[in-house]
Amino acid sequence: MSMTISEKILAAHAGRSELRPGELLEVAVDFALGNDITAPFAIEAFRRAGAKKVFDPERVALIPDHFTPNKDIASAMQVKGIREFAAEQHLTHFYEVGRMGIEHALLPEQGLVLPGDVVIGADSHTCTYGALGAFATGVGSTDLAAVMMTGKIWFKVPSSMKFVFRGKLRPWVGGKDLILYTIGQIGVDGARYGAMELTGEVIATLPMADRFSMSNMAIEAGAKVGIIPPDAITEQYVKERAKRSYRFYESDADARYERTYEWDVSAFEPMVALPHSPENVRLVTELPRIPIHQVVIGSCTNGRFEDLQQAAKILKGKRVAPGVRCLIIPATQEVYRQALRAGLMEIFIDAEAAVSTPTCGPCLGGHMGILAAGERAVATTNRNFLGRMGHAESEVYLSNPAVAAASAIAGYIAHPDAI
């Protein structure tokens, strides 16, 4: 029986030779994770169930990245609780401030999530790891508790949808623009509980940073997973990082898809998602001069070294516009180190941007970049829902790092070529 890459991974982890969309099955989990918001609830459920030990202390990671460095007593107590649980369970992968990075950048960087894996995380953007060719998806805290106990989870096999990107990308256009366009075309529920398979000659040339960005935002189209078939670029990324063996899967040539979309992206320009939805997509060149107050360059979507490099190309030798705050947030400590060695930090500081330790803080309106009423932000994050980054009367515009940096200099949403 012919199967897609997602179906093959699930079948292998369920001990099945074949399966069909819609089936319910129990699958073995290779890796599980929680953060400082979701893990406390999972730990509480774990204890209520009477569990004593996690299924494998090498396969569970706890990463305090949302409200860290701790912003108040409540967040400090949350992290204290997961810190104590990690020590009690002898978890190898607890990441304290100073070691910590944004979870969906940190775990691939550390070689802990790998091609062919089934990965679950109590965070919706766990689908990021689909960029490696893994079946990775977000779950609730009680599901995480069950996995921590048993190492298994129940799934309904999703239908697969194929997205084929053809052509050649223009300058300043990357993975963020491709996924914004896709969400704009199919809507925030266009792939609901589906497996988005991202393919085509354009995807085959994308570096891993852009692939992570695309898979990260699959959930913004309602998808269960956004998966990219692994190839030589994937292999180059994982071969020196991998902490265990891995396997590449690929879809059969005659695999069945619920729907297939094909786009020639050769004429694409940088795109922006306007408030208050990732599907509200426009070309930057279509927008009037929309004044802004804040720019955030970072997050699990666009906080990798390549993203900071792109921003630095725009910011070099220039200064952030008066009245605009520009926040630069490397996704991990290693990204921070790379940026230091490459001289990017000097560029950012000379441009009068503020550089932060790794954190999710402003993305979810947690801390370190909250918007006041009437303020607008351009952000390389993944969501721009009402009140997402602060006050309900604020606005968030989603873009790639180049557009965000150009906007910081211009003081309004701008195309990089306009700077």
Domain boundary among the residues 262, 293, 310 is at 262
pTM of the model: 0.97
Same domain assignment for residues 170 and 287 = no
Long-range contacts of 340-344 (CB under 8 A, 24+ apart): 342/305, 342/309, 342/312, 344/308, 344/309, 344/312
Same domain assignment for residues 92 and 162 = yes
Same domain assignment for residues 225 and 284 = no
Domain boundary among the residues 262, 291, 326 is at 262
Contact criterion met (CB below 8 Å) for 209 and 303: no
Q: DSSP strand E in 78-204: where? A: 93-94, 118-121, 135-138, 152-156, 160-166, 195-199
Contact criterion met (CB below 8 Å) for 260 and 173: no
Same domain assignment for residues 101 and 245 = yes
Q: Is residue 267 part of a domain?
A: no
Residue whose pair of structure tokens reads 């950012």 in the numeric block:
348
Per-residue pLDDT, 1: 85
Same domain assignment for residues 290 and 397 = yes
Same domain assignment for residues 299 and 366 = yes
CA distance 103 to 97: 12
Buried/exposed code over 273-286 (b: 16+ C-beta within 10 A; e: otherwise): bbbebbbbbeebee
Q: Is residue 246 part of a domain?
A: yes
Q: Is 78 helix (H, G, I), strand (E, B) or coil?
A: helix
Per-residue pLDDT, 81: 97
CATH code of the domain containing 335: 3.30.499.10
Q: Is residue 69 part of a domain?
A: yes
- What confidence tens digit (pLDDT) does each residue in 189-231 have? 999 999 999 999 999 999 999 999 999 999 999 999 999 999 9
Same domain assignment for residues 124 and 226 = yes
Which parts of the chain register pLDDT below 70?
Answer: none
How many folded domains does the chain comprise?
A: 2
Residues 6+ apart with CB under 8 A from 61: 31, 32, 33, 34, 91, 93, 94, 95, 103, 107, 112
The domain in which residue 241 lies consists of 5-262
CA distance 117 to 266: 33
Q: Is residue 244 part of a domain?
A: yes
CB atoms within 10 A of CB 259: 13
Same domain assignment for residues 231 and 100 = yes
- What confidence tens digit (pLDDT) does each residue in 96-131 have? 999 999 999 999 999 999 999 999 999 999 999 999
Vertex 132 angle, CA 310 and 41, to 5°: 95
Sign of CA dihedral 127, 131, 132, 135: positive
Same domain assignment for residues 231 and 321 = no
Same domain assignment for residues 278 and 245 = no
Same domain assignment for residues 248 and 333 = no
Same domain assignment for residues 190 and 330 = no
Residue whose pair of structure tokens reads 């959930």 in the numeric block:
219
